[in-house]
Amino acid sequence: MSEGSQPGGTHCDLLVVGGGPAGLATALAARQRGVERVVVIDGQRPPIDKPCGEGLMPDGVRQLEALGVTLPQGRFAPIAGIRYVDGPTTAEGSFPAEVGLGIRRTLLHAAMVEAAHKAEIELRWTTKATALLPATLDDPASNIDRQSPAGVETASEPITARWVVAADGLNSRLRGWAGLDERPSRVARRPRRFAVRRHFRIAPWSDKVEVHWSDGAEAYVTPVGAGEVGVALLVAGQSARFEPLLARFPALAARLQGAEVASRIQGRGPLERRARGVTRGRLALVGDAGGYVDAITGEGLSLAFHQAIALATAIHRDALAEYARAHGRIGRLPNGITRLMLAMERRPRLRRMVVRALAAEPQLFNRVLAVHCRHLPLARFGAANAARLAKWLLLTSGS
Ligand SMILES: Cc1cc2nc3c(=O)[nH]c(=O)nc-3n(C[C@H](O)[C@H](O)[C@H](O)COP(=O)(O)OP(=O)(O)OC[C@H]3O[C@@H](n4cnc5c(N)ncnc54)[C@H](O)[C@@H]3O)c2cc1C
């Protein structure tokens, strides 16, 4: 029997499967709302690493603070905005008022684990869910049968709970077990994108996340500390090796030449996953498990934190259906922006026009970022700004 396990299994109010950022955020938010016994299980050991651009949008920083997570001083880098580099053209936009930050995933994870300990959340590492207890999928409104509780099987014991949260990432097994995976025929029709990342010991040369564009691939450079940057490479079509992919960005490759590597290469993909729904019975999906579009806008973490807070609120109110609605609302604008960016990524001429327009109108770029990080409601982006953007697109379309 593992540490903390009980004869006949453990029972709790909320079981979170997956102790990554989405799972820990859900557990923290649930404890803040008074949910009593919260158990988080994860197949890995902390601190958990994962391929990620490691840039946190300003609203994500705010959510982390609200969840009671304290980041280690001096071990992250403030991020003031985004810089696009497309051949000879550079466009820079600044975040409004607050800054975002770049932080290694392992440090973010350690900080979230520390907050979870303080919140008296039970954390069980190297504990993998191996199956879903069938009653988890029963409609909670139709006679909750206490003899058939919700929960999961693990190698050592069943863990039962009033509510089960699947926060098990992009390849979520729980999503599949719950019948919420997208149909394979639809997945096969979609363009596929892959990612690889690595860190380099080099002083960041910008306080912005730098996005280098090339046809069919992008490179993201995120300052993650005083002497370190993370480089994430995204590519359409098929998975690729880091070095040949980096060579597609000669200016960046030249800058990194000779810098000491600070992490092993990790890859992920295909990136886009959709779920047929984010709730079923007493199960809810959160974070990447509930669907993911692409890393091109670098806001999976912020989205996960917003979802986690909405989910914990719905659980506290015993009204999971509210979460399903909130999930749709939370994702609508960011997913829309991500799809626009992907459309731009597939059309190099359009992409060059947009980057030139943003380079010529930095104030416009600032406003786009203000909408992107939820500082400015879309309705207040303004017809005048949309017209300015359209004007620049028209002006640059001939050049
Ligand atoms: C290349 C790349 C760049 C990105 N860049 C950014 C960025 O700059 N900024 C940003 O905000 N987001 C970025 N993202 C997105 C971000 O990384 C994800 O949205 C975020 O990690 C989602 O967190 P999660 O907790 O849902 O999933 P994960 O972080 O994947 O955590 C899932 C956890 O579930 C556990 N697990 C899985 N199966 C089981 C099981 N059966 N039982 C128990 N535990 C299990 C795993 O061990 C893991 O710890 C990027 C993504 C990629 C791929």
DSSP string covering 120-143: T-EEE-S----EE-GGGGS-TTS-
Q: How many whole angstroms from 20 Cα to the centroid of ligand 1?
A: 6
Q: Ligand 1 pocket check: which of 168, 231, 278 to mutate, most ligand atoms within 8 Å of Cβ?
A: 168
Vertex 340 angle, CA 183 and 211, to 5°: 110
20 touches ligand 1 (CB under 6 Å) = yes
User: Cα separation of 234 and 213, whole Å?
Assistant: 10
71-80, 88-97, 373-382: the lowest-pLDDT one: 373-382
Q: What is the CA radius of gyration of the chain?
A: 22
CATH assignment, 191-268: 3.30.70
Please tell me the predicted confidence (pLDDT) of residue 147: 59
Q: Is residue 294 within 6 Å of ligand 1 at its C-beta?
A: no
As given in the structure block, the two tokens for residue 205 are 């040369």
Q: Where are the domains of the chain?
A: 10-54+104-187+272-337, 191-268, 348-397
Proportion of the chain above pLDDT 70, given as a percent: 91
Helices marked H in the chain: 21-32, 58-66, 105-118, 173-177, 184-189, 242-246, 250-256, 300-316, 320-346, 348-360, 362-372, 383-397
At residue 6, the pLDDT reads: 59
- Determine whether the shortest distance from the Cβ of 52 to ligand 1 is under 6 A: yes
Dist. CA 278–CA 165, nearest whole Å: 10
User: Ligand 1 within 6 A of 300 CB?
Assistant: yes
Span of 121-130, 163-172, 389-398 with lowest mean pLDDT: 389-398
Rounded distance between C-alpha atoms, residue 38 and residue 133, angstroms: 18
| The domain made up of 10-54+104-187+272-337 is a member of CATH 3.90.650.10 | no
Looking from the CA of residue 23, the nearest atom of ligand 1 is: 25
The 10s digit of each residue's pLDDT in 7-51 is: 578 999 999 999 999 999 999 999 999 999 999 999 999 999 999
> Which ligand 1 atom is the nearest neighbour of the CA of 154?
42
Lowest mean pLDDT among 71-80, 301-310, 322-331, 364-373: 364-373
CA distance linking residue 60 with residue 58, whole number of Å: 5
Tokens matching residue 383: 């017809």
What is the predicted pLDDT for the residue at 185?
A: 81
Q: Position of tokens 């014991």?
A: 157
In this prediction, residue 4 carries a pLDDT of 47
The answer to whether 308 touches 22, Cβ cutoff 8 Å, is: yes
pLDDT confidence of residue 364: 84
- Is 228 within 8 Å of 221 (Cβ atoms)? no
Mean pLDDT of the chain: 91
Q: What mean pLDDT do residues 304-308 have? A: 97
Give the angle subtended at the CA of 310 by the CAs of 147 and 20, to the nearest 5°: 80
pLDDT tens by residue, 217-249: 999 999 999 999 999 999 998 877 999 999 999
Determine contact, residues 92/360, Cβ cutoff 8 Å. Answer: no
